[in-house]
């Protein structure tokens, strides 16, 4: 993974000191809360319902075991002993004291981490495929480019006060595991006419109040042009994006208003003009090579695909067999597997992990996966490089700590926003709904029979729980002070991105979990040939679900 050099260290260290000064001015009263707000937001510090919340950037979701231990230390020292992994592959602390924040940032800087631009109307953490660099279906590893984008977007003098926040995702594989169609800019590695590898560029995707699927504005962009093209998009947006209405300020609204074609033309014109000014935005080849070297393939052993010890354990232990089947994925190198650690045990809080568990996971990463791990946008953790023959030992160690939930991409692998338990924007709670759903579908065999099914839950229209792209999406709404839950079906954030359709009137708090049960039963009755939920839904549409839902619950 990328390591800071003296330049990166200097920038982050100076930024920490800058923020220390800002906090000192706030604590002394020199700055009012109103004046301090934009400054703390640039450093990932929110004021939530009960306390400050600090969001730490995990660039493109990649962590070393050393960094994870430091995150555990921060959770223990300055918070309540746990941390929360987010859908943008970041980490949040829900209870830091303002006066401690500069020290937390210092601790982060010690392990080459920061909280830069994890909030505010600026370019946020660049996200990517958690399987980047190791999946068999990859054209090229996107992480070096994610790192180049991280550096370029950090403290960008022109783009730190955009109309609204700005999210960029990059994916290098055939399968889109980074939801690039639902970002302000989505970048997919692509092959050009002459076989050269570069990028396909999408703009204007997003969720929130006005969910939209991004539009392709450039079929092929050579690698050298990446930063100039990004500046062109951002400059068009910064100049012409709406600023009069908070809810109409994202780039998707601009793209929607002028049309993808006009957007493409404006960007291309700006891009051509930037190119004419010179080539200072072309990252020198030696620098690209320097960064690429950090992501070179690991020192893999030559192993056969078949590991007898793993096969033996698989036959002997059905829990291990299930975990192997559900939580691990193919690796491009024979004899290796990708192993996922679910943060979603039955009845747990999706994305939360205790400091002790984080330490344990760090130790396991040292032992089994080259001391590295990734945070996924489904809020789980990934060990990218596990020897097939070590899988049973890894599983046993995880299982002892209750970290071996075999539910990746299954119905209990839900995304849920913090909801009214933490967030001052939320209308309803999300976490208790996720907990009850996971208890309802606790039976591991039932889950596996249901198959791949993403339930995403947001406690308000801002859609932090990604309900629009859940196969089943749940949106909390407030009706005269009472919590209700609206259900959408058929959303998806993969290659065929789609936005869920609302199935009918919202359900009361005590009806929602039963309603999910009814939806699942309906699917199981209607499915043919082992279809996944999304296939069945796309074949039969909303109607059969409407019929069963609103008959049984008497709406």
Partner 1 sequence: MILRNINNRFEFGEDAFERIEDDAPVPATGAVLVSAARWLGEHDILAKRKEPVGVWIEGDGDLEGLGEKCAQLELIVLRFPVFKDGRAYSQARLLRERYGFKGELRATGNILRDQLAFMERCGFNAFELDERIGLSQFNEALAEISVYYQPTGDGRMPVYQLRTTQASPGQARAAA
Minimum Å gap between C-beta 287 and partner 1 is 4
Are the beta carbons of 101 and 149 closer than 8 angstroms? no
Task: Tell me which DSSP letter residue 296 carries.
Answer: P
Minimum Å gap between C-beta 52 and partner 1 is 19
Minimum Å gap between C-beta 113 and partner 1 is 16
Minimum Å gap between C-beta 152 and partner 1 is 6
Minimum Å gap between C-beta 245 and partner 1 is 13
Minimum Å gap between C-beta 422 and partner 1 is 25
- CA 528 vs CA 472, 488, 537: distances in Å: 19, 22, 11
Q: Spell out the residues 6+ positions from residue 29 whose beta carbon is closer than 8 angstroms to its own.
A: none
243 binds partner 1 (CB under 8 A): yes
Minimum Å gap between C-beta 243 and partner 1 is 6
Choose between 237 and 368: whose C-beta lies nearer to partner 1: 237
Structure tokens at 400: 């002892």
6 binds partner 1 (CB under 8 A): yes
157 binds partner 1 (CB under 8 A): yes
Minimum Å gap between C-beta 221 and partner 1 is 19
Which position among 273, 296, 315, 482 is part of the footprint of partner 1 (CB under 8 A)?
A: 273
Choose between 11 and 47: whose C-beta lies nearer to partner 1: 11
Are the beta carbons of 320 and 389 closer than 8 angstroms? no
287 binds partner 1 (CB under 8 A): yes
Which position among 223, 235, 252, 429 is part of the footprint of partner 1 (CB under 8 A)?
A: 235
With contacts defined by CB under 8 A, name the span among 156-164, 178-186, 308-316, 499-507 that binds partner 1: 156-164
Structure tokens at 207: 């969720």
Choose between 22 and 414: whose C-beta lies nearer to partner 1: 22
Minimum Å gap between C-beta 12 and partner 1 is 10
Which position among 32, 280, 543, 554 is part of the footprint of partner 1 (CB under 8 A)?
A: 280
Which position among 46, 131, 159, 533 is part of the footprint of partner 1 (CB under 8 A)?
A: 159
Task: Tell me which DSSP letter residue 415 carries.
Answer: E
Q: Sheet containing 328-330: which strands, arranged edge to edge?
A: 62-64, 372-375, 381-387, 336-341, 328-330
151 binds partner 1 (CB under 8 A): yes
Binding mask 96-135 for partner 1 (x = CB under 8 A): -------------------------x--------------
455 binds partner 1 (CB under 8 A): no
Tell which positions 288-307 bind partner 1, by CB under 8 A.
290
Minimum Å gap between C-beta 547 and partner 1 is 49
281 binds partner 1 (CB under 8 A): yes
Task: Tell me which DSSP letter residue 420 carries.
Answer: G
Q: State which H helix or E strand residue 304 sits in.
A: none
Q: Identify the three-state secondary structure at position 268.
A: helix
510 binds partner 1 (CB under 8 A): no
Minimum Å gap between C-beta 377 and partner 1 is 25
Are the beta carbons of 187 and 211 closer than 8 angstroms? no
Which position among 49, 51, 98, 155 is part of the footprint of partner 1 (CB under 8 A)?
A: 155
Structure tokens at 294: 């950090």
Are the beta carbons of 138 and 172 closer than 8 angstroms? yes
Among 46, 143, 41, 57, CA closest to 96: 46
Choose between 38 and 297: whose C-beta lies nearer to partner 1: 38
Which position among 152, 300, 370, 550 is part of the footprint of partner 1 (CB under 8 A)?
A: 152
Choose between 289 and 305: whose C-beta lies nearer to partner 1: 289
Among 498, 446, 494, 424, CA closest to 468: 498
Distance CA 443, CA 146 (A): 39
Distance CA 451, CA 456 (A): 16
Q: Spell out the residues 6+ positions from residue 194 whose beta carbon is closer than 8 angstroms to its own.
A: none
268 binds partner 1 (CB under 8 A): no
Task: Tell me which DSSP letter residue 225 carries.
Answer: G
Tell which positions 248-267 bind partner 1, by CB under 8 A.
none
Minimum Å gap between C-beta 269 and partner 1 is 12
Binding mask 21-40 for partner 1 (x = CB under 8 A): xx------------x--xx-
Distance CA 259, CA 280 (A): 30
3-state SS, 112-164, equals CCECCCCCCCCECCCEECCCCCCCCCECCCCHHHHHHHHHHHCCCCCCCCCCC
Give Rg (Cα) of the chain: 23
18 binds partner 1 (CB under 8 A): yes
Structure tokens at 21: 């000064």
Are the beta carbons of 506 and 488 closer than 8 angstroms? no
Distance CA 288, CA 266 (A): 28
Distance CA 522, CA 170 (A): 36
Which position among 24, 161, 396, 541 is part of the footprint of partner 1 (CB under 8 A)?
A: 161
Q: Can you give the binding site for partner 1, defined by CB under 8 A?
A: 5-8, 10-11, 14-15, 17-18, 21-22, 35, 38-39, 121, 151-162, 235, 238-239, 243, 273, 277, 280-281, 283-284, 286-287, 290
């Amino acid at each position: 993974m990328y390591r800071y050099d003296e330049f990166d260290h200097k920038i982050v260290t100076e930024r920490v000191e800058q923020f220390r000064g800002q906090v000192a001015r706030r604590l002394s009263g020199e700055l009012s809360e109103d004046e301090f707000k934009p400054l703390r937001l640039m450093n990932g510090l929110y004021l939530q319902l009960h306390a400050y919340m600090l969001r730490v950037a995990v660039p493109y979701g990649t962590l070393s075991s050393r960094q994870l231990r430091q995150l555990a230390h921060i959770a223990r020292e300055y918070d309540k002993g746990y941390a929360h992994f987010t859908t943008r592959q970041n980490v949040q602390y829900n209870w830091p004291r303002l006066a401690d924040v500069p020290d937390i940032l210092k601790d982060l800087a010690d392990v080459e981490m920061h909280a830069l631009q994890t909030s505010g109307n600026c370019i946020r953490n660049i996200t990517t495929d958690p399987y980047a660099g190791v999946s068999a279906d990859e054209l090229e590893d996107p992480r070096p480019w994610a790192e180049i984008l991280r550096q370029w977007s950090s403290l960008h003098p022109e783009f730190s006060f955009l109309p609204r926040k700005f999210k960029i995702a990059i994916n290098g594989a055939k399968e889109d595991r980074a939801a690039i169609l639902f970002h302000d800019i989505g970048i997919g590695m692509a092959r050009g006419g002459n076989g050269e590898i570069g990028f396909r560029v999408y703009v204007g995707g997003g969720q929130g109040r006005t969910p939209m699927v991004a539009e392709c504005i450039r079929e092929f962009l050579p690698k050298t042009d990446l930063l100039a093209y990004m500046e062109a998009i951002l400059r068009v947006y910064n100049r012409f994006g709406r600023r009069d209405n908070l809810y109409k300020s994202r780039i998707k609204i601009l793209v929607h208003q002028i049309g993808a074609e006009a957007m493409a033309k404006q960007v291309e014109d700006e891009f051509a003009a930037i190119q004419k000014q010179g080539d200072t935005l072309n990252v020198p080849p030696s620098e690209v090579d320097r960064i690429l070297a950090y992501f070179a393939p690991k020192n893999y052993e030559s192993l056969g695909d078949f590991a007898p010890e793993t096969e033996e354990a698989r036959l002997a232990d059905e829990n291990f067999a299930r975990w192997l089947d559900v939580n691990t994925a193919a690796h491009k190198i024979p004899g290796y597997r990708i192993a996922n650690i679910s943060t979603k045990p039955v009845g747990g809080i999706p994305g939360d992990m205790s400091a002790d568990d984080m330490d344990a996971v760090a130790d396991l990463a040292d032992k089994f996966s080259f001391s590295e791990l990734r945070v996924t946008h489904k809020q789980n953790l990934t060990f990218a490089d596990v020897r097939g023959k070590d899988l049973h030992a890894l599983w046993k160690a995880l299982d002892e700590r209750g970290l071996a939930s075999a539910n990746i991409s299954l119905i209990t692998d839900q995304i849920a926003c913090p909801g009214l338990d933490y967030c001052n924007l939320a209308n309803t709670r999300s976490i208790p709904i996720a907990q009850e759903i996971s208890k309802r579908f606790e039976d591991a065999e039932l889950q596996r029979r249901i198959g791949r099914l993403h339930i995403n839950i947001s406690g308000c229209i801002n859609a932090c729980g990604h309900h629009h792209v859940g196969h089943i999406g749940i949106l909390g709404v407030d009706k005269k002070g009472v919590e209700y839950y609206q259900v959408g079906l058929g959303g998806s954030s993969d290659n065929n991105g789609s936005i869920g359709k609302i199935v009918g009137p919202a359900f009361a708090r005590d009806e929602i979990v039963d309603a999910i049960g009814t939806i699942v039963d309906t699917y199981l009755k209607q499915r043919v040939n082992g279809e996944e939920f999304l296939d069945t839904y796309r074949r039969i549409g909303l109607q059969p679900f409407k019929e069963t839902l609103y008959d049984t619950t008497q709406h």
